[in-house]
Amino acid sequence: MGYKKITETSSNHDNLELLDTATILQKMNEEDKKVADAVALMIPQITKLVDALVERFSNGGRLFYIGAGTSGRLGILDASEIPPTFGMPHERVVGLIAGGDVAIRKAVENAEDDTEQAWIDLSEHAIDQNDVVVGIAASGTTPYVIGGLRKARAHGILTACITNNPQSPITEVADIPIEVNVGPEFVTGSTRMKSGTSQKLVLNMISTALMIKIGRVKGNKMVNMQLTNEKLVDRGTRYIVEGLGVSYDEAERLLKKYGSVKKALEKGVQN
């Protein structure tokens, strides 16, 4: 093994069970403060990925996340938030988890050890060279993810990875490796903590920057969000008030007439 498995390194803190509650929380927070700085070092790599995604999305390409356990769940979370936030079809950003949908809520024994299943899962979506596959694995050794990336790469599909162990095996099958070294976890080996937080930050950056670059945001507003509840209708109405300088009632009327903030702003300006 030519790399150090940082995610399994002993915590910087010990005798946790002897600490009072406030001290536990303070020490956890001290560790969490390191995460954003570790992510910042990866901005050049994340930039490469986003720019490659923008190019492929313009040709109808898609983004696939593959992962197991916490990593898989975070990929599914990010993918599931794209349609309501940016009004994109569900099939443009897809999250896949080892063990299938049941694994979102419950661990599926040995699912992550199958090196072939990820490619089977990806193939069900007729994946092709317009698409991008991002493997998420804190350890950098998850067979499900590595197997999927290896097969994708062999088929000429761009691959990337998000891992917390630099130079781990997953980086060898990723065209764009994103290696976020957050150091040892507060509870040794519990990668749902700092590693998971770093993955969430990186996923936010990838998908949000992509959506901005392909025109799903105007100014700083989610003008393509789905209007699925009263809170979002109110938010959209206020965006139109600000954008067009009309009354709240008129903005609400335009929103309901045109069905989206973006269309209401465009039609309102024309009128």
How many of the other CB atoms lie within 10 Å of CB of 216? Answer: 19
Q: Which of 65, 34, 25, 30 is nearest to 195 (CA)?
A: 34
Residue whose entry in the numeric block shows the structure tokens 């335009």: 254
Where do runs of H (alpha helix) occur along 58-142? 69-80, 82-86, 117-123
Which of 55, 81, 172, 250 is labelled catalytic? 81
Count of all residues that appear for the chain in the document: 271
CA distance 125 to 132: 12
Q: Is 17 a catalytic residue?
A: no
Q: Which of 228, 229, 258, 230 is nearest to 243 (CA)?
A: 258
CB 199 within 8 A of CB 162: yes
- Which 3 state secondary structure label does DSSP give 96? strand
Q: Is 81 a catalytic residue?
A: yes
What's the Cα-to-Cα distance from 136 to each of 88, 155, 203, rounded to whole Å? 22, 19, 10
Q: Which of 74, 64, 195, 59 is nearest to 130 (CA)?
A: 59
Which of 17, 109, 112, 230 is labelled catalytic? 112
Please give the positions annotated as active site. Answer: 81, 112
